[in-house]
């Protein structure tokens, strides 16, 4: 009995290259796992069986011919925010339930060039707005560690699918925590790259100055392989940075002796935001492990971090209200029945096509941008954003990386926070500053509290993804939290 789901992408890639398994066999295996188990999780919106098998056959030809890139034939799932040619691209919304993209996002093109097989498109919060994957038009996603709990969001389907090993790895996007928070809740490894490192072309926009795509996988070394394929300059994205892409797998084995780890005092001993004592203790144990590996722990200050949530909830809604104006019932997407006139067409199409959370954000954003309020809200938020970035710049003069919890608590239950948007927003209290500053950050599994995974965040200076991956990989060489699998999906 083959147990391919117990293998990492790094291992599967080696097996494919050595001809120990074919991509067709591997792809069938994961398609079967999705077929047999995803009704418990709801982690996929679309499964691309035929297309995946065709890509797998192509990959097998390339593997036979020799010199195939490392990811050739590896099956991966993509968040349904990435446009995929000829395949439904819903962004978790009724608005795009009927949208078949006529082109591929650059992330998808890059992954395809690297030989990756697309298993399907994963469930997500509607237009990536949410922290629990409950705002999806396609229903809530379940956490494989406890089917009553949320997987986190907005990349909840991508996290849940990898945690249950329905896919060896996946892609996600992170605007305020949407890769790191679900990675933490589901016990997997996720990386949000530096803003501008991965192209946003063809990735449906939520908040353009914050959105960034990244890998979600079982380990740091898997994320390195995926990032090698995803990253790079793209002339189709005006915010893409023209900077060469290093081999993210090259420095994984560097020893950590002398590494300076900053611990922001604002992120620890946190009295507000419902910081759970056991989560904090679990993170502190991981920090001790780093100390034993030769790292130095240094207390630092990020004095403006208390501003992150309020600043984010002005900037992100403002940008989303502009980005989502294109969904007007005219050009594409949902259109209401029998509109009376143009105004009726706009208002009913948007009123019926968008869910409650998306409408709330659009209203807040339109208000913050309206004349008379722009200076008081949007401009002010942009100014405060600079203070938040400057805090990080100052900190990185003293330390190499910064470590902190990813979330104040482990995965909460489905329905627990749906009536209280503010408490939902606070679950990103430790992740949002990173997006406002544009720096890279990871989430790695560091233990469990009452059977639910705990994530630790590793933040780095601009373009230091390789350092983060090295720091995460060294920890994963000494611990096996990242190898744990939920009982029901073993
Ligand atoms: N939870 C945050 C929000 O709802 C972040 C979402 C994201 O990163 N896409 O805006």
Q: What is the pLDDT of residues 268-316, one digit of tens each?
A: 866 655 789 999 999 999 999 999 999 999 999 999 999 999 999 999 9
How far apart, in whole angstroms, are the C-alpha atoms of residue 299 and residue 260? 10
DSSP 194: P
> Is pLDDT at 410 greater than 80 in this prediction?
yes
Q: Which numbered atom of ligand 1 lies nearest the CA of 177?
A: 8
Does residue 101 carry a catalytic annotation? no
Closest ligand 1 atom to 428 CA: 1
Q: Measured between alpha carbons, how far is 412 from 152 in angstroms, rounded to an integer?
A: 9
Predicted confidence at residue 421, as pLDDT, reads 82
Which tokens belong to 456? 């630790």
For 451, other C-beta atoms within 10 Å of its C-beta total: 11
Ligand 1 binding pocket, CB closer than 6 Å: 128-131, 154, 174-178, 206, 316, 428
C-alpha 293 to ligand 1 mean position (Å): 34
CA end-to-end span of the chain: 13
Whose C-alpha lies nearest to ligand 1, atom 5?
Answer: 176
- Percent of the chain having pLDDT more than 70? 99
Ligand 1 centre to CA of 82 (Å) is: 16
Residue among 22, 131, 132, 154 flagged as catalytic = 154
pLDDT of 1 strictly over 90? no
Residue 136 C-alpha to ligand 1 middle, in angstroms?
13
CA distance 260 to 287: 12
For 447-471, what is each residue's pLDDT tens digit?
A: 999 999 999 999 999 999 999 999 9
Phi first, then psi: give them for residue 118, nearest 5 degrees.
-90, 115
Separation of CA 230 and ligand 1 centre (Å): 21
Residue located via tokens 């300076």 = 260
Contact indicator for 388, 307 with CB cutoff of 8 Å: yes
In 3D space, the residue among 33, 221, 26 whose CA is nearest the CA of residue 117 turns out to be 26
Spot the catalytic one: 7, 13, 23, 79: 79
pLDDT at position 270, please?
63
Which entry of 59, 178, 240, 308 is annotated as an active-site residue?
178
Question: In ligand 1, which atom is closest to the CA atom of 357?
Answer: 4
Tens digit of pLDDT for each residue in 75-123?
999 999 999 999 999 999 999 999 999 999 999 999 999 999 999 999 9
What's the gap in Å between 179 CA and the centre of ligand 1? Answer: 9
Predicted pLDDT of residue 2: 76
What pLDDT shows up at residue 271? 60
> Which one of 132, 175, 205 would you pick to mutate in the ligand 1 pocket, going by the greatest count of ligand atoms within 8 A of its CB?
175
Residue 371 pLDDT: 87
User: Per-residue confidence at 419, pLDDT binned at 50, 70, 90?
Assistant: confident
User: Rounded to the nearest whole angstrom, what is the distance from the C-alpha of residue 204 to the centroid of ligand 1?
Assistant: 14
Determine the distance separating the centroid of ligand 1 and the alpha carbon of 158, expressed in angstroms: 15
Mutate to test the pocket of ligand 1, among 80, 92, 131 (most ligand atoms within 8 A of CB): 131
Q: Tell me the helices (H) and strands (E) count for the chain, helix number first.
A: 15, 11
Percentage of the chain beyond pLDDT 90 is 94
pLDDT bin (cut points 50, 70, 90) of residue 217 is: very high
- Pocket of ligand 1, candidates 125, 214, 411, 418: which has the most ligand atoms within 8 Å of its Cβ, to mutate? 125
What H or E segment, with its residue span, contains residue 122?
A: strand 117-122
The residue whose CA has the least distance to atom 4 of ligand 1 is 130
Please report how the helices 220-230 and 465-478 are oriented relative to each other, as an axis angle in degrees rounded to 10.
160
What is the pTM for the complete model shown?
0.98
Q: How far is the CA of 43 from the centre of ligand 1 (A)?
A: 18
Mean pLDDT of 117-133: 98
Band (51; pLDDT cuts 50, 70, 90)? very high
- CA pair distance 195, 211, nearest whole angstrom: 8
Cα 236 from Cα 238, distance rounded (Å): 6
- Which of ligand 1's atoms lies nearest the C-alpha of 312? 10
Does residue 243 have an active-site annotation? no
Q: What is the mean pLDDT of the chain?
A: 96
Q: Is 260 a catalytic residue?
A: no
By most ligand atoms within 8 Å of CB, the mutation choice from 200, 428, 432, 441 for ligand 1 is 428
Neighbour count for residue 419 (Cβ, 10 Å): 8
For the beta sheet containing 441-449, the strands, ordered from the edge strand earlier in sequence to the opposite edge, are 44-47, 117-122, 75-79, 170-174, 212-217, 189-192, 441-449, 452-460, 401-405, 260-264, 296-300
Torsion of CA 113, 116, 121, 122, to 10 degrees: -130
Q: Token digits for 332?
A: 């594409």
159 close to 422: Cβ distance less than 8 angstroms? no
Q: For residues 339 and 408, what is the distance between their CA atoms, to the nearest angstrom?
A: 46
CA dist., res. 184 & res. 376, Å (int)? 35
- What average pLDDT does the segment 150-179 reach? 98
Element (H, E) at 214: strand 212-217
The vertex-216 CA angle with 39 and 15, nearest 5°, equals: 90
- Domains of the chain and any CATH numbers: 4-259+480-489 (3.90.1300.10)
Tokens of 274: 């419902």
């Amino acid at each position: 009995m083959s147990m391919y789901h117990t293998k990492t992408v790094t291992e599967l890639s080696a097996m494919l290259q050595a001809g120990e398994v074919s991509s067709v066999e591997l792809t069938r295996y994961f398609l079967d796992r999705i077929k047999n188990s995803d009704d418990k999780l709801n982690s996929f919106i679309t499964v691309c069986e035929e297309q995946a098998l065709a890509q797998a056959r192509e990959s097998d030809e390339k593997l036979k011919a020799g010199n195939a890139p490392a990811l050739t034939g590896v099956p991966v799932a993509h968040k349904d925010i990435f446009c995929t040619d000829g395949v439904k691209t819903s962004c978790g919304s009724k608005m795009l339930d009927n949208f078949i993209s006529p082109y591929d996002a650059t992330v998808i093109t890059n992954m395809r060039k690297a030989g990756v097989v697309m298993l399907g498109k994963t469930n997500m919060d509607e237009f990536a707005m949410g922290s629990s994957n409950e705002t999806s038009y396609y229903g809530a996603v379940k956490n494989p560690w406890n089917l009553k709990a949320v997987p986190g969001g907005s990349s909840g389907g991508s996290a849940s699918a990898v945690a249950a090993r329905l896919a060896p790895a996946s892609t996600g996007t992170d605007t305020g925590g949407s890769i790191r928070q679900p990675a933490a809740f589901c016990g997997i490894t996720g990386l949000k790259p530096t803003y501008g490192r991965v192209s946003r072309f063809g990735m449906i926009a939520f908040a353009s100055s914050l959105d960034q795509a990244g890998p979600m996988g079982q380990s740091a070394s898997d994320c390195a392989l995926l990032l090698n394929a995803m990253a790079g300059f793209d002339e189709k994205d005006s915010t893409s940075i023209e900077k060469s892409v290093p081999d993210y797998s090259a420095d994984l084995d560097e020893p950590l002796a002398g590494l300076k780890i900053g611990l922001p005092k604002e992120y620890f001993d946190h009295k507000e935001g419902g910081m759970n004592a056991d989560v904090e203790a679990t993170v502190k144990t991981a920090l001790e492990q780093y100390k034993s590996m030769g790292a130095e722990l240094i207390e630092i200050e990020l004095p403006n971090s208390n501003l992150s949530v309020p600043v984010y909830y002005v900037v992100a809604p403002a940008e989303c209200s502009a980005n989502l104006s294109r969904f007007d019932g005219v050009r594409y997407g949902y259109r209401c029945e029998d509109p009376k006139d143009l105004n009726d067409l706009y208002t009913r199409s948007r009123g019926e096509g968008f869910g409650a959370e998306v409408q709330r954000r659009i209203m807040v954003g339109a208000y913050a941008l309206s004349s008379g309020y722009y200076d008081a809200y949007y401009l002010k938020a942009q100014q405060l954003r600079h203070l938040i970035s400057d805090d990080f710049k100052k900190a990185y003069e003293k330390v190499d990386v910064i470590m902190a919890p990813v979330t104040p608590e482990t995965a909460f239950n489905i329905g627990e926070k749906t009536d209280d948007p503010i408490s939902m927003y606070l679950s990103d209290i430790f992740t949002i500053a990173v997006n406002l500053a544009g720096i890279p950050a990871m989430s790695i599994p560091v233990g469990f509290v009452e059977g639910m995974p705990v994530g630790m965040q590793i933040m780095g200076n601009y373009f230091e993804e390789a350092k983060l991956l090295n720091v995460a990989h060294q920890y994963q060489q000494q611990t096996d939290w990242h190898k744990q699998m939920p009982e029901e999906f073993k």
